Structure 1
Amino acid sequence: MKFFSFLFVFSFLFVTSVFSQSNFKPGYYLTTQNDTIKGFINYREWDQNPKQVTFKPALNAPSQNITLYNANGFGVNRFEYYTKAIVKVSTSLESLSELPRDVDTTYRVDTAFLKIVVNGSKLIFYTYNTDIKPVYYVGNRSTGEITPLKRYMYLDENGTIKNLDIFRSQLMGMAMLNQPGNQKLQDKIANTKYDEYQLANIVALINGYPNTKKVVINNGATRFFAGTGVGFSTLKFSGDVAPFSNGASARSVTPIVSAGLDFLVNKQTERLIIRFEVTATAKHFSITEIPQENRSNSLDFKYLNLGFIPQLMYNIYSTDKLKVFLNAGLGFNLNTYNKYAYELNFRGDITRMNKFPEFEGFVFTVPIKAGMQINKHVQIYGGYSLPSAITSYSAWDASVATVSGGISYLFQ
């Protein structure tokens, strides 16, 4: 137990160093004179377009900050590319609780690093994830003009959500100029949603695919894993009228096997991971209450546990060779019990009550883990599953908590 406590404390201490972790990838930046300086960019998972990035001319060289004041753009080779621009940014709100009662065309003027998603011979498609919402732009390569694609959400007088989709007519105009007579493209635009992937696809079609460089939109990836471990489970009864009300408990040490699928939000940084895990274990508890007044009681039962656990994993420390992670999830568990019986011994007279207590066949659990990943394939972890009731009596309950440890192999 002390080992797992140490592991959790050790992992949480790494939180303070999260923002100092580096993930330098080959890249470049453009000076304000548009000169290209090659080197390495500290590539992060940017929820919003970055206002500055860290750059090194060489991996062993001192770092410097690349900002909107000293650069016209930057790129992480094969991953993401940004250019500086002064743009109009819609400030109309789109969350359901804050929708305006009429079309809100207000905007602010920002200087920002726009992300280049489609780099075409005629048109360029940009994205700008602001603190309010994502905003999309199309740049005209010949004129240099950058036009925001407009979409407004509002409530009419009946409180019904309405969309004013001006972006479709904007794209149709661009298509008529660059792809005249292409009715299929016009029809496709008429059904296009205000979505990064769909809009990027339309801009690529307007350019003509042979002359279009489509930058990676989704860096997501999947991987399978399988593992084994051991669980140290504790059964406790609580409540004054519980069968074992004097604090007696039972412990079970059992193997655990697991397998599942990971969804990596960004395979280049591997910071945030959505994990779906299936586990199987068999538990055996034998509990006897301390005899008092010529009376004792006992219970011996086994059950097979199959769990499905969606969870979030976050690497709080990340290098190519070592990662330290925390994760938490919600377990959906099916329990199958043997033919057990509760025995009450009073002065040698034994009473057996079959299937008492009545245990639940479906149980929720809340597991948390901490551990480390070594190189690309091995994860070692310690975990704790919070006490979860396996009975549903109103006056008392029996709960099981589990401390676990194990190792997993990542197939990637």
Structure 2
Amino acid sequence: MALSCVAVAQRNYVPATIITSQNDSLKGFIDFRDWFVPPKEIIFKQSLADAAEKHFGPGDINGFRIGEPDIEYAVRKVSIDITKEDFSGDKEAWDRTIQDTLVFLRKLTGGTYNLYEYVDVHTRVHYIADGKNTPVQELEKVTAFVKRSSGDGIYTDNRYQKQLADLFADNPAVAKKAASVTYHEKNLTRLFVTYNVAKDPSTAVITDERKKIKYPLSFGLMGGMSFNTYDFKGPAFKFDGPSKSNSSPIGGIWLNLPFGRVARNFSGVIELMYKQSKTSSISTTGYFSRYDFRYLQLNTMIRYTYPTKTGIKPYVNVGMGNGIAIKVAQNDLANPSRPDEWQENIPGVRKHEQSLVGGIGVTIYRLGAEIRYNSGNGFSPFVGGKTAFNSLQVLAKFSF
């Protein structure tokens, strides 16, 4: 839970272009938040190394474009009906609240006519249109609670349908569809694209690919070495203290799941890996203990990848591991008077090991390397005995 709060609080600078008030292009990076309600201002840097941040509101620029994903915001002065439609019945249907100001509009289509989206403070979605020779206008849809002698009820006025039919009047087929189109982004976008393609295919574009952009998951193989240390504490063990260290190979498969636009540099990592915990110890009284556990461990982590313009991307990740002992090869104890007679050392060993996992690494296109620390609670089933199994892991990764 703490990590998710930190994730939202972090800056998320992505490549972008500012359209200045003089219609010049200023390239740099914008703190992108995948805004549902459009921002009142944006935070801009010309370089990620810049310490100073610039703040731009709708009155300062003409718009901006996010390079990846491809999103464009335009600045327009438009009258928008932002009445809160709560249908409580305590407000007359004709009592409307109109906002008339400069705002950032998310551009959905471009061409002969442009379509924009705006979400007001009540999270009500509005669609706005304009064109080269057509002033900006809200496509109006009014829903209100109406009191009538025949009974109270909800009234909806789809004014936007007539507006669109008039707008597309020179294309009867599109105008006919406009007269019944629903007030929904997908349907309105399709209608505008159909008209714009028929009117001038060279200018008809969809500038917001929000519905088509995919954040592909990645997966692959990993392998490396684990350098392990072991510590036994408590009266339940014949030996109390550090045991013999060892190194062992590790390997497995991994899956990286991007969180999406809100935290586009963050992802969830799921790994299934094989590891071995093997050690031995001799007590002051001469008892010899040996342990050999083989685990399948499922790691679930949150990863932050530092944004770069190349295929070389450093990252950090942290999370938890849950290991299940699939084989107990050794859990033996030998009495110094009978060194060749082995007996079960710890009855009822716990086969579920829990770990804290964290590491730093770098992805270089399809290849990757990571240094990781894993701290597990071992196999002790005793309240009076604790095991600490810690390892420094060096991993190489390959992405398919």
Q: Identify the TM-score tier after normalising by the shorter chain.
A: 0.5 to 0.7
2:376 maps to what in 1?
387
CA distance in 1, matches of 2:230, 2:90: 59
SS at match of 2:189: helix
Query: How far apart are residue 175 of structure 1 and its match?
Result: 4.5
Unmatched segments (≥5 aa) in structure 1: 1-14, 93-99, 153-163, 193-198
Contact 1:118–1:200 (8 Å) recurs in 2: no
> Secondary structure of 1:395's match?
coil
1:398 and 2:387 equivalent?
Answer: yes
> In terms of Rg, which structure is larger?
2
Give the secondary structure class of the aligned counterpart of 2:383. Answer: coil
Distance 1:133 1:288, change over 3 A: farther
Query: What is the aligned partner in structure 2 of residue 195 from structure 1?
Result: none
1:69 deviates by 3.0
- The share of aligned pairs that are identical, in percent, is 11
TM-score by length of 1: 0.66
How far the C-alpha of 1:72 sits from its partner, in A, is: 2.3
Q: Is the Cα–Cα contact under 8 Å of residues 381 and 405 in structure 1 kept in the other structure?
A: yes
Check the 8 A contact 1:185/1:205 in 2, yes or no: no
SS at match of 2:64: strand
Give the letter for the 2:32 counterpart.
E
Matched residue SS, 1:250? coil
Q: 2:278 maps to what in 1?
A: 285
Q: Secondary structure at the match of 1:221?
A: coil
User: Matched residues in 2 for 1:405 and 1:81: separation?
Assistant: 42
Q: Are residues 200 and 389 of structure 1, via their aligned partners in 2, closer, same or farther at CA, if it must alter by over 3 Å?
A: farther
**Residues 1:330 and 2:324 aligned together:** no
Q: Tell me if the contact between 2:293 and 2:325 (Cα under 8 Å) persists in the aligned partners.
A: no
**Of the candidates 235, 239, 245, which is equivalent to residue 234 of structure 2?**
239
In 1, Cα distance between the equivalents of 2:342 and 2:89? 73
What residue number does 2:253 align with? 259
CA RMSD between the two structures? 4.5
1:157 corresponding residue in structure 2 = none
Return the alpha-carbon distance in structure 2 between the equivalents of residues 65 and 335 of structure 1: 55
Question: Secondary structure in 1 aligned to 2:296?
Answer: strand
Who is 1:408 aligned against?
Answer: 397
Q: How far does residue 216 in structure 1 lie from its aligned partner after superposition? A: 1.4
1:139 equivalenced with 2:128 (yes/no): yes
Kindly state the Cα deviation for residue 369 of structure 1 after the two structures are TM-superposed.
Answer: 1.1
What is the rounded CA distance, in whole Å, between the counterparts of 2:71 and 2:25 in structure 1?
Answer: 15
Work out the CA distance in 2 between the residues paired with 1:331 and 1:180: 59
Q: Determine which of 353, 358, 367 is the counterpart of 1:363.
A: 353
Pick from 275, 287, 306: which aligns with 2:269?
Answer: 275
Structure 2 residues not aligned, in runs of 5+: 1-6, 145-152, 166-173, 197-203
Say which structure, 1 or 2, has more relative contact order (CA 8 Å, 6+ apart).
1
The answer for the alignment partner of 1:71 in structure 2 is 61
Q: Does 1:174 align with 2:178?
A: no
Tell me by how many angstroms 1:355 deviates.
Answer: 7.1
Q: Is the 8 A contact 2:230 2:387 kept in 1?
A: yes
Cα 1:334–1:300, aligned 2, differ >3 Å: closer, same or farther? closer
Q: What residue identity is the alignment partner of 2:280?
A: I
Equivalent positions of 1:10-409 (< 5 A) are 24-25=15-16, 27-31=17-21, 35-48=22-35, 49-50=38-39, 51-54=41-44, 66-76=56-66, 79-85=70-76, 112-119=103-110, 124-128=115-119, 136-141=125-130, 142=134, 144-146=136-138, 174-175=160-161, 178=165, 189=182, 199-207=184-192, 209=194, 211=196, 213-214=205-206, 215-217=208-210, 218=213, 220-240=215-235, 242-265=236-259, 271-281=265-275, 283-292=276-285, 295-303=286-294, 305-316=295-306, 318-320=308-310, 322-345=312-335, 347-348=337-338, 352-354=342-344, 356-374=346-364, 376-409=365-398
What is the CA-CA distance between 1:80 and the residue it aligns to? Answer: 1.4
Offset at residue 71 of structure 1 (A): 1.0
Superposed CA deviations along residues 20-56 of structure 1, whole A, max 9, x for unmatched, are x97545x45041xxx4213424244324455135376
2:310 counterpart letter in structure 1: D
The code of the aligned residue for 2:382 comes to Y
Distance 2:43 2:114 in 1: 26
Q: 1:341 to 1:331 in 2, by over 3 A?
A: closer
Q: Quote the Cα distance in structure 2 between the aligned partners of 1:124 and 1:280.
A: 53
Deviates more, 1:141-150 or 1:38-47: 141-150
The 2-side partners of 1:183 and 1:393 are apart by 73
Measured in 1, the distance between the counterparts of 2:143 and 2:227 equals 55
Tell me the secondary structure at the aligned position of residue 362 of structure 2.
strand
Which residue identity lines up with residue 272 of structure 1 in the other structure? F
Aligned length: 346
**CA distance in structure 1 between the partners assigned to 2:239 and 2:357 by the alignment:** 26
Aligned partner of 2:353: which letter? Answer: V
Q: CA deviation at 1:260?
A: 2.4
Work out the CA distance in 1 between the residues paired with 2:331 and 2:142. 69
Q: Give the drift of 1:273.
A: 2.5
Deviation at 1:256, TM superposition (A): 1.9
CA-CA distance at 1:82 after TM superposition: 0.6
How far did residue 345 of structure 1 move?
Answer: 0.9
**In 2, Cα distance between equivalents of 1:103 and 1:352:** 84
Quote the Cα distance in structure 2 between the aligned partners of 1:352 and 1:53: 69
Cα 1:123–1:229 shift into 2, 3 Å: same
- Residue 314 of structure 1 deviates from its aligned partner by 0.7
Amino acid at match of 1:247: G
SS in 2 for 1:207: helix
